[in-house]
């Protein structure tokens, strides 16, 4: 084990990894490894290690456990990265139809909808994501961006503060919190 990870997080990781040998993993937001990863994310002060933990969380979130859905997700991510937003929306939509309880399908579609200029539809999918995975710091950050676009500074600040409660090392959220606090302070709010 890595010595700079707090003892409780080490113990939880060992328990989750050893239970993986006995129980099949869900490989989505219900995956039992996530609880230990979120504990470690809370306790980790090293930005390098918190990035690694975050990457592991994203890797678990992105896999549905259904091969067909996982193919749709990979294709949707490729389309999104290539700027083919309409194609990505369609692919992530197909993933959410096939697996409506898969949080990351909703989150990815929310992301693409936001970039395509559909903030209301994006917010709808963010709410679906958070109903399935309340710890989804990416979805909460997306909500914060929508609130910023709407110039709802107080709601945006609350969203990014919530991200920091879940993921204290999230630098993008910290930057937004500082900017929003300055903006609200200047307005006397």
Of 26-30, 82-86, 126-130, 173-177, the range with the lowest mean pLDDT is 26-30
pLDDT at 7 over 70: no
How would residue 12 be classed by pLDDT, with cut points 50, 70 and 90?
very low
For residue 27, the SS3 value is coil
Q: Once rounded to an integer, what is the mean pLDDT over residues 146-168?
A: 97
Q: Tokens 């006397």 sit at which residue?
A: 188
Contacts of 13 (CB under 8 A, 6+ apart): 1, 5, 33, 36, 37, 40
Residue with tokens 């975050």: 54
Q: Who's near 105: CB < 8 A, 6+ residues apart? A: 64, 69, 72, 73, 92, 95, 96, 99
Distance (Å, rounded) from C-alpha 139 to C-alpha 135? Answer: 9
Residue 3, pLDDT score: 39
pLDDT > 90? residue 40:
yes
Token pair 């890595």 is found at 2
What confidence category does residue 47 fall into, taking pLDDT thresholds of 50, 70 and 90? confident
**Tens of pLDDT, residues 176-187:** 999 999 999 998
147 to 60, 93, 123, 138: CA distances (angstroms): 28, 23, 10, 14
Task: Give tens-digit pLDDT for 58-101.
Answer: 999 999 999 999 999 999 999 999 999 999 999 999 999 999 99
Q: 36 near 9, Cβ under 8 Å?
A: yes
- Per-residue pLDDT, 189: 61
Q: Quote the pLDDT of residue 63.
A: 93
Give the pair of three-digit tokens for residue 133. 């995975």
């Amino acid at each position: 084990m890595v010595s700079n990870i707090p003892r409780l997080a080490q113990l939880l990781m060992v328990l989750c990894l050893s239970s993986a040998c006995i129980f099949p993993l869900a490989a989505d937001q219900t995956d039992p490894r996530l609880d230990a990863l979120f504990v470690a994310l809370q306790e980790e002060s090293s930005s390098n290690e918190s990035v690694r933990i975050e990457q592991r969380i994203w890797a678990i979130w992105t896999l549905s456990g259904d091969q067909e859905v996982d193919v749709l997700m990979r294709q949707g991510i490729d389309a999104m990265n290539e700027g083919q937003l309409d194609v990505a929306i369609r692919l992530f939509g197909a993933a959410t139809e096939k697996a409506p309880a898969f949080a990351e399908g909703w989150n990815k579609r929310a992301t693409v909808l936001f970039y395509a200029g559909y903030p209301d539809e994006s917010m709808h999918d963010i709410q679906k994501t958070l109903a399935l995975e309340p710890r989804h710091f990416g979805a909460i950050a997306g909500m914060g961006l929508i609130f910023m676009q709407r110039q709802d500074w107080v709601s945006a600040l609350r969203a990014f503060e919530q991200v920091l409660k879940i993921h204290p090392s999230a630098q993008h959220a910290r930057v937004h919190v500082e900017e929003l606090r300055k903006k609200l302070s200047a307005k006397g709010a």
